[in-house]
Chains A and B, each alone.
Chain A
């Protein structure tokens, strides 16, 4: 069992004092969810969990523990975030030890909640099935029908960059064609695209949860908080919302691992991942770069090649 192996490895690392802290997932009070845990003692590792609800990108928390030797439980996408952060020299003292787990693709709890009537009190995974129980119902669902869309098109599930791999590498194949949202959006006319973008973000309440959940958003002063220069007003006008979402996404160019943390964090269910996925696609298309795959290749916007595409320049 992956969960047992994971606990064993974490325990070993902590007792040998190879790390001061393990960041992982733990089951908590809510069904269909896990919570991030921060474990400092070998005994504490008993609370580590691994299941289809370990959706958070824990790399977000690494910024808070720069002084410590950290061991972190990572999926394919999280490992890529850590590699990208390490390229940006975010770990001057100790590079975190990556305890990689090949990802089985994560379950979207919002989709599950929509599929059943009433409040879910318990959810148990049984192989490919998901048994969901409430006060007066019990349903068995097929796990694969309730996956996150970013997970469905994922082709980097095995964290190849990990220091320790728990379990065997999985075969890499997408369940859906890559980025279905992007191709759908691209099929529209420019006017429709702007309209649909503006409509989607009109629900935004500027809580910045997307920024906080993102491991790559670590600036001490974000452009939205800056008052000198004041890039953006603190309003909910369509123009300011568009400004925020364009720049937030654009700042991820060549840095996003496509984990989907921004979209999962959004309390208003705004579709955000297609923006960063489009940028990922562009960067791959223009410069052949994919985030966090090759640890020695510099991020695309901090380097250049004399032969880069310039057909658009007069």
Chain B
């Protein structure tokens, strides 16, 4: 932690991946040898609807610089409507955090299916670049 100076700083990003789509998508990216930045730490969740907004806040408080929540495309949910419920929670939480002054790209959401290894790698690249631009999270993190 202490060795992280501004020059060689790399963002830490927590990725919540749904078991049925995005996690399998990440798996596909791996087995297909598709490269993506090593900045993400993956937590596998049963569904993107499982994401409690507390998870996201806790991650930011605990020192993560960005959070990604990824689930199945609309209509593809293993539990039929979990990602739709998750979408409403995400939309309200995202707007609320922005209102309070947490930068827009700190918390991001994506749909990645089990067949989208390439998209998974693109999403991780984009998120990593976005968070890199923002720099380390200073406001909310517990010191």
Contact = CB atoms under 8 A, between A and B. Distances in A.
Contacts of B74: 306, 310
Interface in B38-86: 53-54, 57-58, 61, 74-75, 81, 84-85
A242 B96 contact: no
Given A247-B57, A304-B85, A312 B100 contact: no
Nearest to B62: A239
Contacts of B103: 190
Given A239-B141, A278-B96, A279-B96, A193 B101 contact: yes
Interface of B: 53-54, 57-58, 61, 74-75, 81, 84-85, 87-103, 108-111, 123, 126, 139-143
Contacts of A301: 85, 88-89, 92
B122 to A, nearest CB: 9
A254 B90 CA distance: 14
Chain B at the A interface: SS class: helix
Given A239-B61, A246-B100, A282-B95, A314 B108 contact: yes
B100 A194 contact: yes
Given A239-B61, A239-B141, A310-B87, A279 B75 contact: no
A190 B54 contact: no
Contacts of A313: 87, 90, 109-111
A194 B85 contact: no
Contacts of A38: none
Contacts of B98: 190
A309 B91 contact: yes
A194 B101 contact: yes
Given A304-B81, A314-B126, A193 B111 contact: no
A198 B126 contact: no
Contacts of A306: 74-75, 84
18 contacts: A190-B98, A190-B102, A239-B61, A239-B140, A239-B141, A246-B57, A250-B53, A250-B92, A253-B92, A275-B100, A301-B89, A304-B81, A306-B74, A306-B75, A308-B87, A312-B109, A313-B87, A313-B109
B96 A239 contact: no
For B54, B90, B108, which residue has the most chain A Cβ atoms within 10 angstroms? B54
Contacts, number: 108
A197 interface: yes
A93 interface: no
A186 B85 contact: no
Nearest to A188: B101
A208 interface: no
A131 interface: no
Interface in A160-209: 185-186, 188, 190-195, 197-198
A310 B143 CA distance: 34
Contact of B142 (A191, A194, A198, A237): A237
Contacts of A190: 98, 101-103
Nearest to A254: B92
Interface string A253-294: 110000000000000000000010011001100110000000
B139 A198 contact: yes
Contact of B54 (A231, A239, A302, A310): A231
B99 A250 contact: no
A300 B87 CA distance: 11
A302 B58 CA distance: 23
A91 interface: no
Nearest to B86: A304
A193 B110 contact: no
A312 B109 CA distance: 7
